[in-house]
């Protein structure tokens, strides 16, 4: 029977932005995320005469398929497997919403691999495998609030903080730009390390993680949002201050930030931005409609995607 693995994307509330070991994707800091419900990747594997990667019904022959095959080679070596594989993936992540699909893609692929070969890996081991594919994928193994701890190859895995949060927290993605990002996260992280503020960023991490864990435990939306916004803005400030400087922001990013600053006067919301120009709003369920209306009024042709907590990996 075909085993289809599903993994949801996640958004980092305390950001991962730097690697201690690029090959193993060991992070220089711990991070905390929220797994999202509407966006996911479904993946299954099949025996094949040659390696093949099919994404959304199209045979891929590009940088992306190379990354997938390199990753599979690594997994095959680790488990002493030599057969060629066909990878079939369906991405239910709106391109352009700025929600990294690599987190769901590599979490689904790691789970599909483990299921196809009946490896019976537990979630900690799965999370380690997902990490080697893409750092943010480490956290997509679990649902709800998830922590990915810094550490060595065995210990740098995800742990669930609250798999079924009752906090009515939503994420509203504001779609500004559908183009693939100009600078990959991997490259951005390398450049960021040249920033004079980088060490300060690392020094703040332990406290930020402890504060966020407490805020999650206390279901304190104000604290969660404030800490998430600070982490995102610090990450982008490092990029601006790097040598040479760089940024993922575009003119529209600043335009949206100004509108949201204004809106903050009348509703509680917080902002987070990843390695791209798109802005995401963290808010409470009761305010989604009000915020959406306000944004639609103040921005021409904007697309909004509303999402909340999603679950961890599953087999369909």
Q: Which is nearer to ligand DP6, 12 or 161 (CB)?
A: 12
Residue 1 CB, shortest distance to ligand DP6, in Å, is 31
Tokens of 220: 């304190």
Q: Which is nearer to ligand DP6, 121 or 146 (CB)?
A: 146
Three-class secondary structure of residue 32 per DSSP: strand
- State the alpha helices, DSSP H only, in 79-122: 101-116
Q: Which is nearer to ligand DP6, 27 or 165 (CB)?
A: 27
Residue 172 CB, shortest distance to ligand DP6, in Å, is 17
Residue 173 CB, shortest distance to ligand DP6, in Å, is 13
DSSP structure string for 174-225: EE---SPPSS-HHHHHHHHTTSTTHHHHHHHHHHHHHHHHHHHHTT-HHHHH
Contact 188, 239 (CB under 8 A): yes
Q: How far apart are CA 208 and CA 286, in angstroms?
A: 27
Q: Which is nearer to ligand DP6, 121 or 130 (CB)?
A: 130
The residue nearest ligand DP6 at its CB is: 135
Contact 18, 28 (CB under 8 A): yes
Q: Are strands 85-92 and 52-55 parallel, antiparallel or unpaired?
A: parallel
Q: Which is nearer to ligand DP6, 100 or 259 (CB)?
A: 100
What are the residues binding ligand DP6 (CB under 6 A)?
12, 15-17, 25, 31, 100, 102, 134-136, 185-186, 274-275
Q: How far apart are CA 91 and CA 55, in angstroms?
A: 7
Residue 25 CB, shortest distance to ligand DP6, in Å, is 5
Q: Which is nearer to ligand DP6, 38 or 231 (CB)?
A: 231
Residue 148 CB, shortest distance to ligand DP6, in Å, is 8
Tokens of 92: 């239910």
Q: Which of 181, 199, 139, 188 is nearest to 163 (CA)?
A: 139
Residue 202 CB, shortest distance to ligand DP6, in Å, is 14
């Amino acid at each position: 029977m075909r085993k289809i693995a599903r993994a949801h994307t996640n958004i980092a509330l305390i950001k991962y932005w730097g690697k201690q070991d690029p090959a193993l994707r060991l992070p220089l800091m711990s991070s905390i995320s929220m797994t999202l419900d509407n966006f996911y990747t479904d993946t299954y594997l099949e025996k094949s005469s040659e390696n093949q990667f099919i994404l959304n019904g199209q045979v891929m022959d590009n940088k992306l398929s190379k990354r997938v095959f390199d990753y599979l080679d690594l997994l095959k070596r680790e488990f002493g497997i030599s057969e060629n594989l066909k990878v079939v993936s369906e991405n239910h992540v709106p391109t352009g919403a700025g929600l990294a699909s690599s987190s769901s893609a590599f979490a689904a692929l790691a789970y599909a691999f483990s299921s196809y070969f009946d490896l019976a890996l537990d979630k900690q081991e799965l999370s380690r495998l997902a990490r080697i594919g893409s750092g943010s994928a480490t956290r997509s193994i679990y649902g709800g609030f998830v922590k990915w701890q810094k550490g060595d190859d065995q210990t740098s895995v995800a742990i669930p903080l609250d798999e079924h949060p009752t906090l009515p927290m939503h994420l509203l993605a504001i779609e500004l730009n559908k183009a693939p990002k100009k600078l990959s996260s991997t490259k951005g992280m390398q450049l960021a390390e040249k920033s004079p503020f980088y060490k300060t960023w690392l020094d703040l991490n332990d406290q930020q993680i402890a504060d966020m864990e407490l805020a999650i435990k206390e279901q304190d939306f104000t604290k969660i949002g404030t800490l998430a916004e600070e982490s995102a803005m610090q990450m982008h400030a490092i990029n601006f201050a790097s040598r040479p400087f760089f940024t993922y922001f575009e003119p529209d990013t600043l335009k949206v930030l100004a509108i949201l600053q204004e809106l903050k006067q009348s509703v509680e919301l917080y902002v987070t931005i990843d390695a791209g120009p798109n802005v995401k709003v963290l808010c409470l369920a009761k305010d989604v409609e009000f915020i959406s209306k306000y944004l639609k009024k103040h921005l021409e042709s904007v697309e909004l995607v509303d999402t909340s907590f999603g679950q961890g990996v599953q087999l369909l």
